[in-house]
Amino acid sequence: MAKFKFKFDSVKKVKEALEKKAQKELALIDLHIEQHGQLKLKLLDEINSIRRSVYNKKISAAELRFNSQYKSSIHNKIKENDQEIKTLDKQKNEKVEEVIQKTIEKKMLIKLEQNHFEEFTAVENKNELKEFDELAVQKFARTKK
């Protein structure tokens, strides 16, 4: 029996590599989203600590003004962080679509390979049966003489 060789094997390998690359990029985007989420929590904790520090002691008007400006700068950072998270979410959705597309392409090639293999085995089995029939006819012809 001959060895099966899928003629689109190199294309399949490239598709698998592209799919893995897209999955890694998606994981990286998820990591960035997680990091920005952690940064937002830290900024919110910092705002809460400023609020607690104002209530616990007497402070001057200059310190109060400074704390107010500091809180507003932190709020601006939070808004920028939220905007970055929205951008990353949009990129994530695009990457998810890309990964889905790459997976579909890879699965199509796998299915094509299976179909080619089934055709190959059917043809090989048919050829083997012909050879066995020929051998049987030759053996029968020798024993008849």
More confident residue, 59 or 21: 21
Distances (CA, A) of 116 to 2, 103, 113: 14, 20, 5
Q: What pLDDT does 111 receive?
A: 96
Measure CA 61 to chain center.
Answer: 54
Q: How far apart are CA 101 and CA 92, in angstroms?
A: 14
Determine whether 136 is exposed, middle or buried from the number of CB atoms within 10 Å of its CB (0-12, 13-18, 19+): exposed
Q: What is the pLDDT of residues 95-110, one digit of tens each?
A: 999 999 999 999 999 9
- Measured at the CA of 116, the angle between CA 111 and CA 117, to 5 degrees, comes to 95
